[in-house]
Amino acid sequence: MIKIGIVGVRGLSFSGAFCSMPDDVKITAICDLDEGCLEWAKGEIEKKSPDASGLKAFRIYDDMIEKGDIDAVVISTPMQCHVPQAITALQAGKHVMCEVTAGVTMDELWWLIENVEKSGKIYMYAENYCYIPDCQLVRALVKKGMFGEIYYGEGEYTHDCTELRNWHGKTGWRTYWQMGTRGAFYPTHSLGPIMQCFDDDRIVSIASFSPGNHNPYGLRNDDLTQTVCQLESGKLVKLRVDTISPRPHETMYYQIQGTKGCYEASRFGGEAMIAIATEDDPKGYEHWRPLSDFKEFLPERYKTGEGGDAGHGGGDYYIVKDFVDAVKTNVQPELNVYKAAEWTSVALLSQLSVTNQGRLLEVPDFRPGMTWEEKRIKL
């Protein structure tokens, strides 16, 4: 039985998945600074869990780590808290599943990697967009070679967050740590599913551009940022991050292009489409077909309905399951600390690039056993 502690009530998005695995895991502690939110969250877990007896509530994170009787921590606090809280947990011998982004400075990424390596504990990056059924289906089609060789990918996160600047009448953390910074500060929802279509390729350089700042809110963030990522193979990924522009939300737009055709998500709430050449239809790349025509290629576990009504189309269940399996086997998951650092570094290097007229910046080769000399930014 793996005992879970959750810090930050946003982590309740995963609580249903944990509670549906009563033989494997149990949520034994929860922590939040807001006492009202904490009591509400405790009640929600008690409703979901068949055995919530002994659930402890803490307002101080260190108290939960020391007294919560837990084996692993789910970190779902504001992003500037992620690395300090992950390090505290790892040094106390706890496994970690952490919300995005992994950190807010490049130095934090080095600290995080060093502590994961030293602790020997599991660290999983909770990039749950990778687990959305459509993203899993497209990845399966890529692996079967149905798009040919993929050479371009595109992702967009357009989500007007201006109303989230304040929380209960107070200036919220997003004002400073998201919309108070420049560049593509929140790229991994767009980047993760795209990078999974490029197998083991990695990002070697990025350049970010913006149209400037025209918003009426007094925020430092660019109205939007376009970031181009060059992969080690020479292939390209383009990202748009936009949390200020007045437009409907579209947080899951993706496009991939291969030698046999392409995939494009809907921008307007309709169905995703693909256009590919096949033996039966060599010109199939000239017309669109619904992605649902290929649903038989969805990974088998998604067809069982095991994920139930978990968030993101059941994806939140499978990311939790992969975390639990990693803890059981003591084998680092696919979304490990090195992927977390690579994808997060796009945000951090983007800040430097966009403030220097789109300067091209190298992305470190995040991997085990990096030397001190390799842990630097090359200008």
The CATH number of the domain holding residue 241 is 3.30.360.10
Same domain, 63 and 93: yes
pLDDT number for residue 253: 95
What is the Cα–Cα distance from 255 to 156, expressed in whole angstroms?
A: 9
Taking 80 as the threshold, does the pLDDT of residue 275 lie above it? yes
Q: Are residues 19 and 117 in the same domain?
A: yes
- Residue 9 pLDDT: 86
pLDDT of residue 347: 97
pLDDT value at 119 more than 90: yes
Domain for residue 38, yes or no? Answer: yes
Contact 123, 366 (CB under 8 A): no
Rounded to an integer, the average pLDDT of 241-247 is 92
Does residue 53 register a pLDDT over 80? no
pLDDT of residue 4: 96
HEC per residue, the chain: CEEEEEECHHHHHHHHHHHCCCCCEEEEEEECCCHHHHHHHHHHHHHHCCCCCCCEEECCHHHHHHHCCCCEEEECCCHHHHHHHHHHHHHCCCEEEECCCCCCCHHHHHHHHHHHHHHCCCEEECCHHHHCHHHHHHHHHHHCCCCCCEEEEEEEEECCCHHHHEECCEECCHHHHCCCCCCCCCCHHHHHHHHHHHCCCCEEEEEEECCCCCCCCCCCCCCCEEEEEEECCCCEEEEEEECCCCCCCEEEEEEEEECCEEEECCCCCCCCEEEECCCCCCCHHHCCEEHHHHHHHCCHHHHCCCCCCCCCCCHHHHHHHHHHHHHHHCCCCCCCHHHHHHHHHHHHHHHHHHCCCCCCEECCCCCCCCCCCCCCCCC
Q: Which two tokens stand for residue 276?
A: 């590919």
Same domain, yes or no: 134 and 283: yes
> Among all chains, which residue has been given the structure tokens 């808290």?
81
Answer with the residue of higher pLDDT: 219 or 136.
Answer: 136
Residues 115 and 152 in one domain: no
Shared domain check, 122 and 133: no
* Residue 283 resides in a domain: yes
Does residue 317 contact residue 308 with C-beta atoms inside 8 Å? yes
Last residue of a domain, one of 95, 127, 159: 127
Residue 179: the pLDDT is 87
Residue 291 located in a structural domain: yes
Considering 283, 303, 323, which residue would you say is the last residue of a domain? 303
Q: Structure tokens of 49?
A: 């869990």
**Which residue type does 186 have?**
Y
pLDDT digits (tens, 9 = 90+) for 289-318: 999 999 999 999 998 877 666 777 778 999
Q: Which two tokens stand for residue 198?
A: 């490029």
Report how far residue 196's alpha carbon sits from residue 138's, in angstroms, rounded to the nearest whole number: 10
328 and 34 Cβ atoms separated by less than 8 Å: no
Residue 258, CB-side half-sphere exposure with 13 Å CA sphere: 24
Percent over 90 (pLDDT), the chain: 77
Question: Do 280 and 143 belong to one domain?
Answer: yes
Mean pLDDT of 244-253: 90
With beta carbons less than 8 A apart as the criterion, state whether 194 and 153 touch.
yes
- 154 pairs with which residues across the strands? 238, 255
Task: Residue 287: count other Cβ atoms within 10 Å of its Cβ.
Answer: 9
Specify the pLDDT at position 78: 95
Residues 295 and 157 grouped into a single domain: yes
Q: With respect to residue 6, please indicate whether it lies within any of the assigned structural domains.
A: yes
Final residue in a domain of this structure, among 251, 282, 303: 303
Q: How confident is the model at residue 48 (pLDDT cuts 50, 70, 90)?
A: confident
Mean pLDDT value of segment 62-89: 97
Looking at the structure, do residues 73 and 170 belong to the same domain, yes or no?
Answer: no
Q: Based on the domain organization, do 213 and 264 belong to the same domain?
A: yes
Domain range for 141 is 129-303
Contact 127, 335 (CB under 8 A): yes
Query: Average model confidence (pLDDT) for the chain?
Result: 93
Q: Does residue 100 contact residue 78 with C-beta atoms inside 8 Å?
A: no
Instruction: Report the domain count for the chain.
Output: 2
Question: What confidence category does residue 267 fall into, taking pLDDT thresholds of 50, 70 and 90?
Answer: confident
CA angle 167, 73, 120 (to 5 degrees): 135
Percent of the chain with pLDDT over 70: 99
Which one has a higher pLDDT value, 99 or 169? 99
Q: What is the CATH number of the domain that holds 64?
A: 3.40.50.720
**CA geometry: angle at 364 spanning 335 and 191, to 5°?**
45
Is residue 59's pLDDT more than 90?
yes
Map tokens 């522009």 to a residue. Answer: 245
Q: How far is CA 295 from CA 39, 194, 302, in A?
A: 41, 19, 10
| Residue 356 in domain | no
User: Do the domain assignments include residue 360?
Assistant: no
Instruction: Give the C-alpha separation, 350 to 101, whole Å.
Output: 14
Q: What's the confidence (pLDDT) of residue 176?
A: 87
The tens digit of pLDDT for each residue in 166-202 reads 777 788 888 888 888 999 999 999 999 999 999 999 9
Give the tokens for residue 271: 């169905």
Size of the chain, expressed as the number of residues it contains: 379
Q: Is 157 domain-assigned?
A: yes
Residues 123 and 133 in one domain: no
Amino acid of residue 164? L
Res 134: pLDDT: 95
Predicted local confidence at residue 320, as pLDDT = 96
